[in-house]
Amino acid sequence: MKKSTIKKLSLSAAILGLTVGGAGVLINQANASTGAVDTQTSQTNNINASSIGLSQSDAINKFNEKFGSVSIKEIELKAKNGKYVYEIEGFDSQNEYKAKIDANSGNILKSKTEKLDADDKNEALDLGIVIDREQATQVAQQSAQGQQVKWVLEKDDGKTIWEIEFENGNKETEVEVDANSQKVLKTKTEDDHKDKDHDKDDHDGDDKHDHNQNYDNYRDHDRDDDHDDDDD
């Protein structure tokens, strides 16, 4: 009887040890996953615009050195993996070109060429008549707080706009600024999904932008493509 009881107690202790040990592994894995997310967020929050060593015009020059003198369709600058990266899109009569450029070193990180979509032929930016990134940021700061982590200059329904994204704690706010009139067109905050809408034209109260677009429908420029050409 005593030996049987001892064996039962030993078996119970072993099972308990395995259970506790397994729970410990799961907790450690969860903590590691959370730590990875926190590290990525910390990397974004620890950089600032002062680390942008390459001006927009210099980035365009790098782009033109790669693809020739082409029309510029879109310019994006964003914080990624602890540094800022330009993503520029352009086109000529036949092809569309894309490149990612390190905003500090000027190195081309990735480039791609694909057939031009006919709908994109009217999307060329006139960079000579729009406000620059610094001016757009000053306007956007009237409607949002936090660190600027992303800028996009593009055409939307024939109007050239700056989209500027701010991070403030766990809150992300996007502000759209008319790149010609310097008006704030829209602000959108991710955490509460409350939009503040602004008329695009003071002279036409009926001409308003559709402000019901879901935040998650914004274009993702980070998709991988099997036809990417990587440049070291």
Q: Where are the domains of the chain?
A: 1-46, 53-230
N residues, the chain: 232
- The residue ranking higher by pLDDT, 211 or 12, is 12
pLDDT at position 89, please? 98
109 has a pLDDT exceeding 60:
yes
pLDDT at position 139, please? 98
Cα distances from 2 to residues 9, 10, 15, 158, in angstroms, run 11, 12, 20, 88
Averaged pLDDT score across all residues of the chain: 77
What's the first-to-final CA gap in the chain, in angstroms? Answer: 74
**Nearest of 210, 201, 173 to residue 189 by alpha carbon:** 173
- As a whole number of angstroms, the distance between CA 202 and CA 210 comes to 16
* Mean pLDDT within 73-102: 96
pLDDT at position 228, please? 54
* pLDDT band with cut points at 50, 70 and 90 for residue 12: low
144-150: long-range contacts, CB 8 A cutoff, minimum separation 24: 144/168, 144/173, 144/175, 144/187, 145/173, 146/171, 146/173, 147/45, 147/48, 148/49, 149/44, 149/78, 149/79, 150/76, 150/77, 150/78, 150/79
59 has a pLDDT exceeding 60:
yes
5 has a pLDDT exceeding 60:
no
- As a whole number of angstroms, the distance between CA 43 and CA 81 comes to 7
- The residue ranking higher by pLDDT, 5 or 64, is 64
CA 35 to chain centre: 21
Q: How big is the chain by its Cα radius of gyration, in Å? A: 25
137 has a pLDDT exceeding 70:
yes
* pLDDT band with cut points at 50, 70 and 90 for residue 29: low
pLDDT at position 183, please? 97
**Nearest of 192, 150, 163 to residue 44 by alpha carbon:** 150
Fold of 53-230: Nuclear Transport Factor 2; Chain: A, (3.10.450)
- As a whole number of angstroms, the distance between CA 201 and CA 33 comes to 47
Q: Is 104 helix (H, G, I), strand (E, B) or coil?
A: coil
* pLDDT band with cut points at 50, 70 and 90 for residue 127: very high
pLDDT at position 200, please? 42
224 has a pLDDT exceeding 90:
no
